[in-house]
Amino acid sequence: MKTYALISVSDKDGLGTVARAFVDKGMSLLATGNTYKKLQDDGFEVKEVSELTEEPERFGGRIKTLHHKILGGILFRPEQDEKEWPYDFRIGAVVCNFYPLDEKGTQETELAPLMEWVDIGGPTMVRAAAKNHEHVWVLTNVAQYSRFTAHMHGDDISIKQRFALEAFDLIAKTDNLVMKHFERIHIPQMGAGELRYGENPHQKASFTPAFRKGLKIYGDFSFNNWRDAEAAFKFVRPFINKAACVIKHQTICGACVENINAEVSENDIFNWAWEGDDKSRFGGVIGLNYMPTEELTKILEKKFLEVLVLPRDEKTEEWAEQIQVKKPKLKILLVAKSEWGEPSDYDRDSRTEVFEGALGRLVQDSDSPEWKAGGEISPESYFLEAAQWMGACSKSNAMAIVGIEDDAKWLCLAGAGQGQPNRVDALKLLALPRAKDFCKRTGFPWDQLICVSDGFLPFPDTIDVLAQNEIMKLVQPGGSKADKDVAEHAMKLNVEMVITNRRHFWH
């Protein structure tokens, strides 16, 4: 059976060197279009792909290698697929680099010409070769040629695996480039795209909406507006009953959650969230998981807000259009209703948090409260998770002081301390003073406050501060070697402590 090395490259540097290596290895050369001509000019014996497939290139060269003889030849597994393969050849190597999409795509301002730089056959061949890398060499970069020639006569599978990994990486990067340039042209029609500037005026920035979240955008969002809107959505998103929050600098400064099996007005939920911090709320971002009532609309019209985040349906779209007439500077973000509610209602596996850094890409599953499906959740456990979620959205190291209404119909944020090197400072310097101010302004009873820590307590000093300030209930995730000692210290001071064994701790 004849073995071909299929070569189809946009970048022809080193072409003669790698072609000679394949010939020396006993392979015949197979090539497309301009690569075929270049190899012929360089004196190589080479067969054109169309001669092998007995099909001409079609649609101005759009179809060259998308043929069962090509893909079958690449995917063929020696000593396994002979009975199903009626031909006397296989493809033992694919050398392919793609169209210069980033270079050419940047110059395009319309979608039609951009699409001509989207490679179809190349990635298909490369993907097939990478899939069958045990039997097929796959080279996608000129820099790989020297590594290939150094290993081509050996049987070390690891070098083939490495080339296959680099091939899959190239395909992923190419798909991202297609998205990047497609979005650059298309996204501005959706009210997104290039932003005025980034986190600071000297930084460039852009926003690409997550399409399947069904966003509808009203107003000219800045980089920081988007970050704050994300934080607002993240807080209110998982609650199955009414919830509201106030966000400033991506940090929660006011929140209120209705308990399950309770009936609290939309206005009251908003008002208790709004009262969480009467200073930080100025020019803040509001997140609601419900449609504003007529009375609440009048309240919102009088407030100085930057952004409002709501579930999207026909009613909220109509509402947003109407309120924008009265408050044209207010930015409104509507997110499809399917993206809200109990975390099990949406696919958490696809909602990963990704950090692209200098060293690589760091990925994890998204965090969310743990509601029990099937109506098993109790009002007590619902509030317990809600309180911890308030702490999480305060950002570590965080201590959140929350208040539970007399009949446990709603839970609100009374004061939060966040972003501190230690929890004692977060509690003493921020959370407690804010809680005292909250209770003074609203008349909320001090003895109905509970402290929530977003991380475990390695020392009992936090318990001392709580007892001194007559906050006698504490919720923490546990996980420290000192859990037992801290628990014993809490008992001595009559501080009721609940260890949840579930941590929502965001660095």
Judge contact between 381 and 369, C-beta under 8 A. no
345 has a pLDDT exceeding 70: no
Domains 2-185 and 207-499 equal at CATH topology level: no
Q: 164, 145, 151: which is closest to 20 by C-alpha?
A: 145
Token code pair at residue 497 = 């402590």
* Bridge partner residues of 193 (DSSP): 207
Instruction: Write down the catalytic residue from 12, 47, 131, 180.
Output: 131
* pLDDT band for position 209 (cuts 50, 70, 90): confident
437 has a pLDDT exceeding 50: yes
Average pLDDT over residues 168-187: 87
Ranges of H-type helices in 29-120: 33-41, 49-53, 68-75, 101-105, 111-115
Is 131 one of the annotated active-site residues of the chain? yes
For residue 43, how many other CB atoms are within 10 A of its CB? 8
87 has a pLDDT exceeding 60: yes
Encode pLDDT of 220-250 as tens digits. 999 999 999 999 999 999 999 999 999 999 9
Judge contact between 287 and 244, C-beta under 8 A. yes
Q: Which long-range contacts does 121-125 make (Cβ < 8 Å, 24+ apart)?
A: 121/8, 121/63, 121/64, 121/65, 121/66, 122/8, 122/65, 122/96, 122/97, 122/98, 123/98, 123/171, 123/174, 124/65, 124/66, 124/71, 125/6, 125/8, 125/65, 125/70, 125/71, 125/74, 125/94, 125/96
User: CA 42, CA 221: separation in Å to the nearest integer?
Assistant: 56
* pLDDT band for position 373 (cuts 50, 70, 90): very low
Q: 111, 140, 114, 113: which is closest to 10 by C-alpha?
A: 140
Q: Say what the pLDDT of residue 165 is.
A: 96
- Weakest mean pLDDT among 57-61, 141-145, 386-390, 445-449: 57-61
> b or e along 315-341 (b: 16 or more beta carbons within 10 Å of the residue's beta carbon)?
ebeebbeebeeebeebbbbbbeeebbb
User: CA 211, CA 42: separation in Å to the nearest integer?
Assistant: 48
pLDDT > 90: percent of the chain: 73
Question: What are the residue boundaries of the structural domains of the chain, listed by start?
Answer: 2-185, 207-499
- 3-state SS, residue 37: helix
Instruction: Write down the catalytic residue from 12, 104, 249, 337.
Output: 249
Encode pLDDT of 103-162 as tens digits. 887 888 888 888 988 889 999 999 999 999 999 999 999 999 999 998 888 777 999 999
> b or e along 226-257 (b: 16 or more beta carbons within 10 Å of the residue's beta carbon)?
bebbbbbbbbbbbbbbbbbbbbbebbbbbbbb
Sign of CA dihedral 84, 88, 94, 96: negative
Tokens 């190349």 map to which residue?
122
- 3-state SS, residue 16: helix
* Cis before 224? omega within 30: no
User: CA 186, CA 193: separation in Å to the nearest integer?
Assistant: 8
The residue count of the chain comes to 507
The distance in angstroms from the start CA to the end CA of the chain is 59
* pLDDT band for position 212 (cuts 50, 70, 90): confident
Judge contact between 296 and 266, C-beta under 8 A. yes
Q: Say what the pLDDT of residue 190 is.
A: 66
Average pLDDT over residues 419-436: 94
Query: Distance of CA 430 to CAs 37, 275, 420, 433, Å?
Result: 73, 16, 10, 6
CATH class of the domain comprising 2-185: alpha beta
Indicate the average pLDDT of the chain: 91
User: CA 229, CA 333: separation in Å to the nearest integer?
Assistant: 8
Catalogue the E-assigned strands of 187-266: 193-194, 206-207, 216-218, 243-248, 251-258
Q: 208 — phi, psi (to 5°)?
A: -115, 115
75 has a pLDDT exceeding 70: yes
Average pLDDT over residues 288-299: 95
CATH number for the region 207-499 comes to 3.40.140.20
Q: What is the greatest pairwise CA distance in the chain?
A: 91
Tokens 């063929």 map to which residue?
76
358 has a pLDDT exceeding 90: no
- 3-state SS, residue 335: strand
Encode pLDDT of 62-71 as tens digits. 888 899 999 9
Average pLDDT over residues 252-278: 95
